[in-house]
Amino acid sequence: VIWMTQSPSLLSASTGDRVTISCRMSQGISSYLAWYQQKPGKAPELLIYAASTLQSGVPSRFSGSGSGTDFTLTISCLQSEDFATYYCQQYYSFPRTFGQGTKVEIK
Amino acid sequence: EVQLVESGGGLVKPGGSLRLSCAASGFTFSSYSMNWVRQAPGKGLEWVSSISSSSSYIYYADSVKGRFTISRDNAKNSLYLQMNSLRAEDTAVYYCARGGAARNHAFDIWGQGTMVTVSS
């Protein structure tokens, strides 16, 4: 099993801030990492796959980086619609695993 | 429009059974692997099971292995999750999610979810 440590679990920020979320793997997964955004009462939505490839329709203020065991999601200029919970997920091996989630709240 | 619609959730007693369905539309269902992911109230996402496009490869989380069965009917563009011996800890929103043609693929399309409550 590949264990994932996502941090922080809670992030307080203001509109316009640059925020980063980290995801660390217990073993290397090459670039088989995705980031999802979930808003309350809604299904998750894919933001980034292959660690750094933006899903179609996702704003360019979202970016992803990393490979191997350490990955980062960056939102360059936080907008009001970005306040949500973010999850990383590895799809390198089974069982697929998700990070614990990072809630981005209004400061 | 590419869409996944789950159904079949509800209230069931511990030890009971339930069958979830996921109807796909707007894409060639038979070309994609499919997945079930659940989310307990107030908790994070938990992968449950995956099935390859032709049903040749099937995987389960340890927490459901031996109790849940994933299947698909490509002629009906449908994915299923048969859940037996249900426990309180299976209470969650269950999402179906599309994978890809390749073995390793992110989940790019999600349904709206169906709620399963296991309680006496």
pLDDT digits 0-9 by tens, B49-91: 999 999 999 999 999 999 999 999 999 999 999 999 999 999 9
Of A42, A43, A91, the CB nearest to B106: A91
The 8 Å CB, 24+ separation contacts for B58-67 are: B59/A94, B59/A95, B61/A95, B62/A95, B63/B89, B64/B90
What's B90's DSSP letter? G
Chain A window 64-103: which residues touch B at a Cβ cutoff of 8 Å?
Answer: 87, 89, 91-92, 94-101
- Chain A residues with CB-CB distance to B62 below 8 A: 95
SS3 assignment, position B27: coil
Percent of chain A's residues with pLDDT above 90 = 98
Is residue B103 scored above 90 in pLDDT? no
- Chain B residues with CB-CB distance to A38 below 8 A: 45
A34/B106 CB distance under 8 A: yes
Q: What is the residue-averaged pLDDT of chain A?
A: 97
Amino acid at B96: C
A98/B45 CB distance under 8 A: yes
Residue B63's closest chain A neighbor by CA? A95
pLDDT band at B102 (very low <50, low <70, confident <90, very high): confident
B50/A94 CB distance under 8 A: yes
